[in-house]
Amino acid sequence: MPTKQKKIGILTAGGDCPGLNAAIRGFGKAAIRQHGMELIGFNDGVRGLAENRHVPLDGRALSGILTVGGTILGTSRDKVDRMIVDGETRDMVPTIVQNYEKLGLDALVTLGGGGTARNAYKLSKAGLNVLHLPKTIDNDIVGTDDSFGFSTALEIATDAIDRLHSTAHSHHRIILAEIMGHRAGWLALGSGIAGGADIILLPEVPYHVDVIVKAVEQRRKEGLNFSVIAVAEGARNQTDSMAMSGAQALVNEASSPETKAAAKKAKRDLERSMRDNTLKLATQLEDATGLESRVTILGYVQRGGTPCAQDRLLATRLGTKGAELVDAGQFGIMVTAKGTETGTIPLKEVAGKVKYVPSDHPWVKAARAVGTSLGDA
């Protein structure tokens, strides 16, 4: 009897980033050419999976997408167990399981960050064969050294800091570049070091405004009447950081669904009140130093455009390894990058966790060694 052709579904979820299409291509071409699989792609993340919207992915569909930014499949940030459908929050896991079985899928491959890993784990617990590939510009996924999307975003942010130096120098200004990264400082730290930022502010290192002022004033004493500051979007001063920690503690200590929901809302409201922290900091520094201060928010330009060579290579490595693992019947895992090698980690060890910048990380030590201030006492 001939062996049944395996049918695999693939989707991209969470924020878009460079390298998603390269990973789709890497997995897809290896799955089709090396392992004789049939591949379909779900539109718009897990919502497309829940609504059974999909397209065939053959060699022709996968051709020419290596260098294309974003994702040909579309994406969304839906949660499989709390999806808004017709204005109501519904658990769509049973529906997804039905669609998976109706389509005769042998496995589902998800491409995304921490939130997508959480969705993948929930679907895995529901009995589906799921494999996850790590994607995020934030580089905050535990268990892997790198995630595709990060290197390109790092190049974009570094280029922006490079360009801001000339304006800061010419006008004798303080220029703050707000850099993405959510709750982790990898992108701000890496681009800050590579771009020669004078001060780098991270979510993991609560800052003191007076320390930043002293760093700026010290540069002025040395005849440098300008400063470039790389600010992670999640960076907080000491007071705000303590407030956020307190809000999170209330969420953790909540004893009922009602109190937990109220605590989560209070935390979200607090986070929203801090969205303009970089602008507030610029005003504080201008008042304290007398130097004009300007803010550049890089925002979504860090997510867009053609993936760099490093991200294309990483996405292809992880994608082809994923096809190999699916063929071998290994599921409930995420493919990881460990140096030049690839490995795996159980989804239960990834879901709901964040890889933060350690205080003793070599990048932190290198920044301090060259005289870069992190704004801490």
pLDDT of residue 11: 98
d(CA 218, CA 165): 18
- Give the number of other Cβ atoms within 10 Å of residue 264's Cβ: 15
In a domain, 268, yes or no: no
pLDDT for 377: 78
Residue 284 main-chain phi, psi, to 5 deg: -65, -40
Q: Does the structure show a pLDDT above 80 at 1? A: no
Residues 86 and 221 in one domain: no
> Does 36 share its domain with 185?
no
> Which CATH number characterizes residue 186's domain?
3.40.50.460
The mean pLDDT value of the chain amounts to 95
Q: Does residue 29 sit in the same domain as residue 109? A: yes
Reported confidence tier of residue 275, pLDDT bands at 50, 70, 90: confident
Q: What percent of the chain has pLDDT over 90?
A: 90
Question: Token pair of 244, please?
Answer: 């956020």
Report the relative pairing of strands 333-338 and 83-85 from DSSP bridges.
unpaired
**Per-residue pLDDT reduced to its tens digit, 180-231:** 998 999 999 999 999 999 999 999 999 999 999 999 999 999 999 999 999 9
Same domain for 158 and 121? no
Q: Answer yes or no: do 290 and 323 share one domain.
A: no
Residues 202 and 57 in one domain: no
Task: Please determine, for residue 271, whether its predicted confidence score (pLDDT) is greater than 90.
Answer: no
pLDDT, position 4:
81
Q: Residue 212: what residue type?
A: I
Return d(Cα 145, Cα 147) in angstroms, integer.
7
116 and 182 part of one domain: no
Domain for residue 263, yes or no? no
- Tell me, rounded to whole angstroms, the distance of Cα 36 from its chain centroid: 32
pLDDT score for 260: 87
Beta bridge partners of 132: 110, 334
Q: What is the pLDDT of residue 150?
A: 97
Burial class of residue 214 (count of CB atoms within 10 Å of its CB; 0-12, 13-18, 19+): middle
The pTM is what? Answer: 0.93
pLDDT digits (tens, 9 = 90+) for 175-187: 999 999 989 999 9
Quick check: 27 and 129 in contact, CB under 8 A? no
Higher pLDDT, 2 or 132: 132
Q: Which helix (H) or strand (E) holds 337?
A: strand 333-338
In a shared domain, residues 85 and 162:
no
Number of domains in the chain: 2
Q: What is the pLDDT of residue 182?
A: 87
In a domain, 72, yes or no: yes
Q: Any idea what the CATH number is for the domain that residue 60 is in? A: 3.40.50.450
Identify the H or E element spanning 210: helix 209-221
Quote the pLDDT of residue 25: 98
pLDDT above 80 for 287: yes
Q: Would you state the pLDDT for residue 289?
A: 96
Domain of residue 210 covers 153-236+274-303+358-369
DSSP three-state, residue 304: coil
The pLDDT, as a whole number, for residue 257 is 87
Residues 71 and 187 reside in one and the same domain: no
pLDDT at 301 over 70: yes
Task: Tell me the HSE value of 322 on the side-chain side, using a 13 A CA sphere.
Answer: 34
Same domain, 158 and 291: yes
Provide the pLDDT for residue 2: 57
- Looking at residue 37, its amino acid is M
What is the rounded distance in angstroms from the CA atom of residue 19 to the CA atom of residue 309? 9
Q: Give the Cα separation of 327 and 316 in Å (integer).
A: 17
Contact 136, 14 (CB under 8 A): yes
Separation between Cα atoms, residue 354 and residue 333, nearest integer Å: 17
Q: Which amino acid is at 192?
A: G
pLDDT-based confidence at residue 352 (cuts at 50, 70, 90): confident
Query: What strands lie across the sheet with 54-56, from one edge to the other?
Result: 54-56, 38-42, 7-12, 107-112, 130-134, 333-338, 341-346
Q: What is the pLDDT of residue 274?
A: 87
CB contact at 8 A, 138 and 258: no
Give the catalytic positions in this structure.
138
Is the pLDDT reported for residue 35 higher than 60? yes
Q: Residue 228 phi/psi, 5° resolution? A: -115, 125
* pLDDT over 80 (residue 3): no
* pLDDT for residue 85: 93
Q: Which burial class, exposed, middle or buried, applies to 360 when counting CB atoms under 10 A from its CB (0-12, 13-18, 19+)?
A: exposed
Token readout for 204 is 């993991």
pLDDT band with cut points at 50, 70 and 90 for residue 105: very high
Q: Is the pLDDT of residue 241 over 60?
A: yes
Q: What is the pLDDT of residues 314-347, one digit of tens each?
A: 999 999 999 999 999 999 999 999 999 999 999 9
How many whole angstroms separate alpha carbon 333 and alpha carbon 309? 26
Residues 105 and 168 in one domain: no
